[in-house]
Structure 1
Amino acid sequence: MKRILLVEDELEIAELERDYLEINEMEVTIERNGARGLELALQDDFDLIILDIMLPDMSGFDICREIRAKKEVPILLVSARKEDIDKIRGLGLGADDYITKPFSPSELVARVKAHLARYERLAKNNIASQNEILQVHDLTLDLDGRKVFVADQEIIFTTKEFDLLVFLAKRPNRVWNKEQLFEQIWGMQAAGDVSTVVVHIRKIREKLESHGDFSESIETIWGAGYRFNL
């Protein structure tokens, strides 16, 4: 049974979300205090964390940053704030998804299942791909250790940044549109915002270009998508 940590200060909403997740055979721990939620997230081994941004004692953004710095676990941010800047900030901090209130409980369950399945596939792939190294010019991708190096200097990537970079690097010189990349990396066809792809491409470029001349490695093909150039 998958264990979910739900950090939400509105009890009525938290209980409704818990009920739907438990119907789908998940064990849910509710925490209404942000600081306590962060403590639980770091101390215990949850399979996924649902985190409200607007908590009375601590920003959900800060909690997300702290968790991601120490753990690779799916994090779903939830907020009534619909501004793109909030989505960009949350995804930039390493969140796996951003859900805007109000949303249907069934949508939440669908996204939770999709992220759990993706992380399970990721774990299996890590076992199957031991010692697999992908070398592209000065860029080294350690698929087993999930590490990125440029000229022996490691660059830290979030889980989805790494997955997206590897996906493109393994399939060079082909154009992929945002919808295709979203489906391949996030494992969902219509249950998410494809602007997530744009944010992650930008973050990947920034990290690579800060360590060398990678300005043309991931090319934007206007009106079509993205291409990894060899």
Structure 2
Amino acid sequence: MVITYLEKEGFTVIHAKDGEEALRIFTLESFDLILLDLMLPKLSGMELLRMIREKSLIPILILSAKDGEVDKALGLGFGADDYIAKPFSMIELSARVNAALRRANYHVNAPEDRRRNIIEIHELMMDVENLTCSKKGQEIKLTSKEHQILKLFMTNPKKVFTKEHIYQTVWDEPYYGDENIINVHMRRLREKIEDNPSEPQYIKTLWGIGYRLGEF
């Protein structure tokens, strides 16, 4: 059903029946987006996600019938860009796919002078062009969403961001009040950039309002 619908929408779709086949195809061909089911035979979706993320920042949308915040947090923490719970409508899937492709295309085609920016805040340094981040000279491996969230704060050091603003800016979609996806990404990001995630210094929480970059 998914393949038929996306092909009618104008996409070229290549399907893998299990995780091992998916990994083999990924190493042989070039793609713009991956739709990844977690329940795969031979090689699990989570393991496949981890292996792909070691080599590529390609947008990855997880599809899963599993419920619970733990499953979502684990999937997003492993580096997925978005999470679509089954059952879902084809219209929702198409909207998520197009939004992910727009975001990826924006980064690829951003003006050269903008992509070459190197942003430094205290001990953090972000290379916007190469989508890399380091702290005290040590590389920090961020997912594409974590990178976009951190970039949002580092390029707007005096601004306060609500969860709605963060979601609409980073995900490029309307915000319907689901705070979980923001909370998960913010927690994972803090675990990577903060000395003590329980007492964050780089991204401060303004209770009842949102977040802002810390002052140094």
Q: Same fold (TM over 0.5)?
A: yes
| Cα RMSD after superposing both structures | 2.1
Which residues of 2 match residues 178-217 of structure 1 at below 5 A? Answer: 178-190=163-175, 193-210=178-195, 215-217=200-202
User: Deviation digits for residues 200-223 of structure 1, max 9, x if unmatched?
Assistant: 1111211112499x8222111111
Is 1:165 the counterpart of 2:146? The answer is no
Return the match for 1:107 from 92, 98, 111.
92
What are the ranges of 5 or more consecutive residues in structure 2 without an aligned counterpart? Answer: none
Shift of 1:23: 1.5
**Map of 2:106 onto structure 1:** 121
2:49 pairs, out of 54, 59, 64, with 64
Distance in 1, Cα, partners of 2:175 & 2:144: 21
Map 1:73-84 to 2 at 5 A.
73-84=58-69
1:54 aligned onto 2:54: no
Please give the per-residue CA displacement for 1:104-151, whole angstroms capped at 9, x wherever unaligned: 111101100000010000111263424311111221111122221222
- Kindly indicate which of the two structures has a greater share of residues assigned to strand: 1
Letter aligned with residue 171 of structure 1: N
Question: Pairwise mapping of residues 18-33 of structure 1 onto structure 2 (< 5 A)?
Answer: 18-33=3-18
The Cα shift of 1:169 comes to 1.2
Equivalent in the alignment of 1:10: none
Residue 141 (structure 2) aligns with: 156
The number of residues matched between the two structures is: 215
Q: Is the Cα contact below 8 Å between 1:77 and 1:98 reproduced in 2?
A: yes
CA distance in 2, matches of 1:194, 1:31: 33
- What does residue 72 of structure 2 align with? 87
Aligned residue type for 2:36: L
Residue 125 of structure 2 aligns to which amino acid in structure 1? T
Cα separation, 1, equivalents of 2:177 and 2:49 = 19
Equivalent residue number for residue 4 of structure 1? none
Q: Which consecutive unaligned segments of at least 5 residues does structure 1 have?
A: 1-15
| Distance change (3 Å), C-alpha of 1:49 and 1:94 | same
SS of the residue aligned with 2:187?
Answer: helix
3-state SS, counterpart of residue 15 of structure 2: strand
TM-score (norm 2): 0.92
The Cα shift of 1:178 comes to: 1.2
- Percent identity (aligned): 38
Aligned equivalents of 1:26, 1:92: Cα separation in 2: 28
1:228 paired residue among 193, 213, 216: 213
Alignment partners' CA distance in 2, 1:71 and 1:180? 27
Equivalent pair of 2:167/2:175 in contact (CA under 8 Å): no
Contact 1:74 1:95 in 2 (8 A): yes
How many Å separate the matches in 2 of 1:109 and 1:88? 23
Provide closer, same or farther for how the CA distance between residues 160 and 137 of structure 1 changes in structure 2, counting only shifts above 3 A: same
